[in-house]
Amino acid sequence: MGSSRSSISSPVSFPSAWSSFGSSSSRYSATSGWRRTDICRSRCSCPARFNARSATQDKRYFEGLPSPSGAAIVAAFVALAHQYDVTGLPGLVLAFAITLLAAVLMVSRFPYRSFKDRAAGERVRYSKLLLVPLVIALIAVDPPVVLFVLFGIYALSGPVGWSWLKLRRRPRDGAASQAG
């Protein structure tokens, strides 16, 4: 188990959150809401996978979508659905699709930036420090929409970055084999 040992908080808190979401958002059908709750409870009670890479790999990246980001996508969607009154079968289908996408990305092997590439004593430029209040002000404009977009972009950055690297490498490999 060593480096893949995970904390006890994820297997305990995620089933509670998902099952609360499943039972409270099931306005369309009580039966389907409870089924979804049971499915979420059983899938989330599995031990969380530790998604930091091992000592031999790059620490600047997570392997798979970090679970707080996956939870933030779902939570932002719930707030977004509440704000724009997305209910009934369309809301249920969208909630299921977004939850499933977040779950699949969490157990994927796509690399996600961890933003830990700065040394503790390293200087930070003032222009980068100005990004913090700018992002907070942007979130304050319309929190559900902005948070859903920000975490959605982060969630898609893994597969898009992985695809970009694969497409960029392919021509080099072909050129090297033709030259040799």
Kindly report, residue by residue over 3-33, the tens digit of the pLDDT. Answer: 444 444 454 455 555 555 555 554 544 455 5
Q: What is the Cα Rg of the chain in Å?
A: 20
pLDDT at 8: 44
| Burial (CB count <10 Å: 0-12, 13-18, 19+), residue 79 | middle
pLDDT at 40: 52
> Contacts by 150-154 with C-beta closer than 8 Å and gap 24+?
151/69, 151/72, 151/73, 151/76, 152/73, 154/69, 154/112
Most confident of 14-18, 91-95, 122-126, 168-172: 91-95
0.75 exceeded by pTM: no
